[in-house]
Amino acid sequence: MNFEKVCVIGLGYIGLPTAATLAAHSLQVTGVDTNAHVVSNLQNGQVHIREGGLNALVQSVLEAGRLTIRSAPEKADAFIIAVPTPFYEDKRADLSAVMRATEAIAPVLAPGNLVVLESTSPPGTTRNLVVPILERSGLKAGRDFYVAYSPERVLPGQILRELVENARVIGGIDAASAEAGCDLYRIFVKGEIILTDCTTAEMVKLMENTSRDINIAIANEFSRLADHLGIDIWEAVKIANLHPRVNILQPGPGVGGHCISVDPWFLVEAAPHLTPLIRTARQVNDAQPRFVLQIIERAAGGSLAGMRIGILGLSYKPNVDDLRESPAIQIAYLLKEAGAVITAYEPNCPAAVLEGLNTVSALQPAVQNAELLVLLVAHETFRQLQPQELVQLTPARAVVDCVHLWNHPSWQQAGFTVHFLGVRKE
């Protein structure tokens, strides 16, 4: 199948890099978003996502006229849906954005078109939700047009490279749809492309993230046990991993982002009676911020009321600006609820504004009045920070390091008392 024009709906962390990559391979691409601010900024060449190489790539394809930005889909040979799929308070998947995107495609759908859903979705979404909406056009899926599911499998900070190099799974509603999807992604994907059915492809993405969530949960539970037993979890993990068939992950303040902290709930929703392990792992990781709160309270000597605390790191993982579902932000709010006076700094998103939290755009104002510092994200910026430098910026001499970044003796030598997650100090 040949493609000349592609329409990408959703210009977030996946949609925009995908649209720009397709445009860089000489296709005519229409990027669509319902956020007027995003549309306006992109039309003026301003990229709203911090991702290595993306700004230059987007500007180049915009200037070349191969990428145009719109607020509604236009006729195309293929449509890619890359919109968010969050969940409701009861943990059910919120597929409203997928529904709206699909409904917007239906009026411009033509015979021979391909529609690909990339948004992470509960098993059955492509066949049972997307197809019926598209068929309101009067066309028949599998006869008049092709439908496939192909989940993104990329790492923030490495998206442009991994879009091209990673293996890609494409699940069609039938074999012809899977082949059509392969024709589209082979334009830029150098990694292996695996074809399957759409429900299997949906399940694969959820299995990948759920497996990681479970592995993180056992590491976090080990950290609580180590704290209870008075041992060093970081030493214990290092020793255990010397076993050739053991690979325990490192514990942390929780699990965030729009994938690992969300996707397992889609499987729980699909079959609650079959997923007690998945549910429990989610509950363990969701509870980790409260465990961190207890460590901070202990380091503070009890009550946090009125204590001035500098928070270092708000993103959900190191070296990205993505704040979605971030456990660091949850911890900041928990500290505020406990009466602490919070000043938070996120170096990758210095302009971050969070309701009810005092955020600053530089390190010094975050620490200059602090009585206690809490390191929540292992950013390279913080890894390179020297204790002799920090000690000159803050009156705080107690630090809670939740990511085991400042474990060098030089921190103690500079006058800091460092408390680590999973290492109990009496």
40: domain CATH number?
3.40.50.720
Residue 308 pLDDT = 97
Co-location of 291 and 177 in the same domain: no
| pLDDT single digits (tens) 238-253 | 999 999 999 999 999 9
Active-site entry in 205, 238, 317, 402: 205
- For residue 204, is it within any domain? no
| pLDDT single digits (tens) 101-126 | 999 999 999 999 999 999 999 999 99
Contact status, residue 329 vs residue 296, Cβ threshold 8 Å:
no
The reply to whether 349 belongs to the active site is no
Active-site entry in 259, 336, 349, 425: 259
- Average pLDDT taken over every residue of the chain: 95
- For residue 247, is it within any domain? no
- For residue 222, is it within any domain? no
Domain that holds residue 295: 282-420
- For residue 413, is it within any domain? yes
Residue 426 pLDDT = 59
Domain end: 199, 221, 236, which one? 199
Contact status, residue 199 vs residue 127, Cβ threshold 8 Å:
yes
Q: Find the angle CA(47)-CA(62)-CA(58) to the nearest 5 degrees.
A: 40
| pLDDT single digits (tens) 155-213 | 888 999 999 999 999 999 999 999 999 999 999 999 999 999 999 999 999 999 999 99
- For residue 287, is it within any domain? yes
Ranges of H-type helices in 230-345 = 233-240, 263-270, 276-299, 327-337
The reply to whether 205 belongs to the active site is yes
- For residue 239, is it within any domain? no
Q: Report if pTM > 0.75.
A: yes
Q: Helices H, strands E: what count in the chain?
A: 17, 14
**Residue 104 corresponds to which amino acid?**
A
Residue 425 pLDDT = 64
DSSP state of 92: -
- For residue 398, is it within any domain? yes
- For residue 257, is it within any domain? no
Domain end: 173, 199, 225, which one? 199
Q: In sequence order, what are the residues at sequence separation of 6 or more whose Cβ sits closer than 8 angstroms to the Cβ of residue 101?
A: 9, 10, 81, 83
Domain end: 199, 232, 248, which one? 199
Reported as a pLDDT band with limits 50, 70 and 90, residue 97 is very high
> What kind and span of H or E run contains 60?
helix 54-63
pLDDT at 356 over 80: yes
Helix 54-63 with 15-24: angle, nearest 10 deg = 50
